[in-house]
Amino acid sequence: MHIQENHPLKKHNTFGIDGKARYFIEITSAQAFVELLHHPIFRENQHLIVGEGSNILFTRDFDGLIIQMAIGGIETVSEDEKCCWVRAGAGVQWHHLVISCIKAGFGGLENLSLIPGTVGAAPIQNIGAYGIEVKEYIEEVGACALATGKQRIFQNDECQFAYRDSVFKNSLKGQYGITHVVFRLTKKHTLHTSYQVLAKRLAEMQDSEPTIASVSDAVIHIRQSKLPDPAEIGNAGSFFKNPVVSKAFYKDLQKSFPGIPWYPVDENSLKIPAGWLIEQCGWKGKRFGDTGVHHKQALVLVNFGNATGREILELSEMIAGSVQQKFKVLLEPEVNIV
């Protein structure tokens, strides 16, 4: 077991923030993870489990143990005429899983193409895009209890999925480390193409009979056209969640802002695009030293090179404050602040 000391963090977060972890280890198997849980360095220090660091903002050095979950492997564990069940290790790159499933003819995840991060982070965040949430395709989540090392399988309903939320962010936060996820995917596909921007792109592609592959291609094109590549400019994708409000609140807000867009959630509530709210407050394309708001997507905060995590956090707080003042809507970070 190779635990490193004073390990640099810049390559372990897509914001590209400099910093150090007192201890760092890469875990490549569930058994190695269980062994680590009994190690004195784990027991005697605070710890943080990360994947690719695509949804994290470091505002300081981490005086403890950072565990990079790098458990790999993709395999089909079961199938019938309509569906197949695919198991993926927590360290598998998310987009790699999506493309692998599409090539195998397995559908369901195509709308989630090119989302950064790893498989292990997907259920925690209940990632979603273009009308789909990953909870719709998760069969079970494998995890280890950090206190005991005991392995447990969480069935879908036990994960308590909600919008960008799960039991792993609430009542069980910090109690389990995810080691693998099993997805229930389709062989006979029902495509989800009603999301306006996705339907528009498919029309531009003159794709009258889309497939899971062409839907994925459309999603990739959309994301690449409006979101910066972390390899070129530091960012963590969408910094804020799209706020969910009641329909009654929205109607009141609409009186002052007739053009305010929305997306359905359920019969009593809806989502307002956070990027639209931020843009209306004049933040889009603004730059302050080495931090700023992306010029194509106001929901994305960026590091132009040498920004600190504290500077990015302060910018996010100013943005949230202005949105609350103008719209009386509270923006919550989607990114984890450390």
Domain made up of 4-69: CATH architecture: 2-Layer Sandwich (3.30)
Amino acid 263: pLDDT: 87
334 in catalytic set: yes
The C-alpha atoms of residue 118 and residue 137 are separated, in whole angstroms, by 16
- Over residues 137-145, the mean pLDDT reads 98
238 in catalytic set: yes
Question: Is residue 164 pLDDT above 90, yes or no?
Answer: no
52, 133, 311, 334: the active-site residue: 334
CA-CA distances (angstroms) from residue 9 to 27, 238, 299, 304, 327? Answer: 16, 21, 24, 17, 37
87, 113, 133, 164: the active-site residue: 164
201's enclosing H/E stretch is helix 196-204
Domain made up of 74-186: CATH architecture: 2-Layer Sandwich (3.30)
* Strand segments (E) across 101-233: 128-129, 132-133, 138-145, 151-155, 176-186
Domain boundaries, the chain: 4-69, 74-186, 234-337
Residue 102's pLDDT band (cuts 50, 70, 90): very high
166, 238, 311, 316: the active-site residue: 238
List the one residue out of 61, 19, 58 whose CA is nearest residue 312: 58
**What is the per-residue pLDDT across 214-267, written as a single tens digit (0 to 9) for each?**
999 999 999 999 889 888 999 998 999 999 999 999 999 999 999 999 988 888
* Reported pTM: 0.87
81 in catalytic set: no
- Domain 234-337 falls in which CATH fold? 3.90.78
**What is the per-residue pLDDT across 289-315, written as a single tens digit (0 to 9) for each?**
999 999 999 999 999 999 999 999 999
Amino acid 281: pLDDT: 97
